[in-house]
Amino acid sequence: MKVHFIGIGGISMSGLANICLNLDYIVSGSDSQENFFTKELANKGATIHIGQSAQNIKPDIDLVIYTAAIHPDNPEWMEAKKQNLKMLSRSEFLGLVMKKYENSIAISGTHGKTTTTSMLSVLYSYSDYDPTILVGGNLKEINGNFRIGNSEHFITEACEYFDSFLDLYPKFGIILNIEADHLDYFDSLDVIIQSFRKFSQNVSSNGYTIANGDDQNVRTALKDLPNCILFGYDKNNDAVIVDNSFDKNGNGHFSIQLDSDILGPFSIKVPGKHNIMNATAAILTAYKDDIPLEKIQHGIFSYHGVDRRFQYKGNYGDVLVYDDYAHHPSEIKATLSAAKFLNPNRLVAIFQPHTYTRTKSLLEEFATSFYDADIVIITDIYASRETDTGLVSSQDLVNRLKAHGKDAIHLNDITELQNYLDPILQKNDIIFTIGAGDVYKLGEQLLLKNMK
């Protein structure tokens, strides 16, 4: 079978392409630029085109798979339509792949999907359940963003953007939280809540929706639906986090009360209250999937983190440099709150806003999300799939931050950044690069300059 991927260099698309190669499909694909994933796929035998052209669409292709970022004016899309080739979106194809697995797990939510997917991936792998995995980050334990297993277990992220997760019909559906996001697609928070309700309705009747009951939006989405297990700190949940504490690094220790049973104790090696919530979702899913408790305890303790999630990058003189993928106000708050466990002298946040739509619609929320940062640097907005219409700028966010009493400035390139930081940095300060774009490169460039 010949399969062509339009946008093959994306983290999810590249994982699906690897699954196709493992099935001995003939794989080709295109992307706007070369990256680690395209090089890896080419080395495995895939035909990779840098740049997208109608010439890349051959008449003998059996299936064309495209990402949500591909629009009908794309030359390969148009040519595939012209040739009347079979076409599926990434999520439609993922849904078909999932149907081959009896025990599939789909992790959804505005935040925490990659971390929780990674926790489950490590837990199932260390418990010898041999899962197939698709994760939206580089997970060291599986040497990348995918794993091909030989069991009925399949673990994947489930993104709500464009209602993509409604193409999935898992045995276990996790909902970590629901907030306003992707407002370039969704008309309102109410529409988002209804979309998550539909996702839960897709969950198999012999499975469960494992969901954050501390989140009122989640409770609204799941009202009166069957087979839902609500978890959190609130005592009105089905599963209640109890006996929780943190060590000096902010790593959590806790148990879970489920009905009359106490599960645990559990320990995790990633900091923050939000990661106890992520771990609880993973633990409850594994427990309801009949994984023995001692294996769950060992598996969740074996998780050490995933790239770009509270990731230590190195030292810039006497200053620690970390990176995090947070790009929504709630994520930023959680990351900076967890960073306080590191006991910094001062916390320096370098934030790259992600998309103009998100920045404009959540401007005030972003302006109040840096409470735990002492110094805030805002870079240019990362456009991603959008174009700048002039409706919002990084300086707008800086102005709102200053209005809330924050020490904030707009800088962008590495020279500006270094010239600003070098005179003011103090021993034991901590720098966090934050955002879903390429802001991590600024931290890496600082570290490279430190080595010279």
- Binding-site positions read 109-115
Angle between helix 440-451 and 414-421 (nearest 10): 70
- Integer Cα distance of 91 and 101 in angstroms: 16
Amino acid at 413: D
Q: Tell me the two tokens of residue 171.
A: 């045995």
Given the structure tokens 């960073």, which residue do they identify? 339
Amino acid at 57: I
> Catalytic one among 157, 160, 179, 331?
157
Q: How far is CA 234 from CA 107, 166, 239, in A?
A: 22, 29, 9
Given the structure tokens 């990779």, which residue do they identify? 48
Given the structure tokens 């699954």, which residue do they identify? 19
Pairing of strands 311-316, 319-324: antiparallel
Report the DSSP beta bridge partners of residue 382.
354
> Catalytic one among 38, 67, 114, 280?
114
- 3-state SS, residue 116: helix
In the residue annotation, 331 being an active-site residue is answered as no
In the residue annotation, 335 being an active-site residue is answered as no
- Integer Cα distance of 35 and 322 in angstroms: 23
Q: Tell me the two tokens of residue 109.
A: 């939510």
- 3-state SS, residue 231: strand
- Integer Cα distance of 364 and 379 in angstroms: 17
In the residue annotation, 113 being an active-site residue is answered as yes
As a whole number of Å, the CA-based R_g of the chain is: 22
Q: Which residues have a Cβ under 8 Å from the Cβ of 29 and sit 6 or more positions away?
A: 4, 5, 6, 7, 8, 9, 13, 17, 38, 41, 46, 47, 48, 49
Concatenated DSSP letters of 248-316 = TT-EEEEEEEETTEEEEEEEEEEESHHHHHHHHHHHHHHHHTT--HHHHHHHHHT----TTSSEEEEEE
User: Residues within the annotated binding site for ATP?
Assistant: 109-115
Eight-state DSSP code of residue 86: -
| Active-site residue list | 113-114, 157
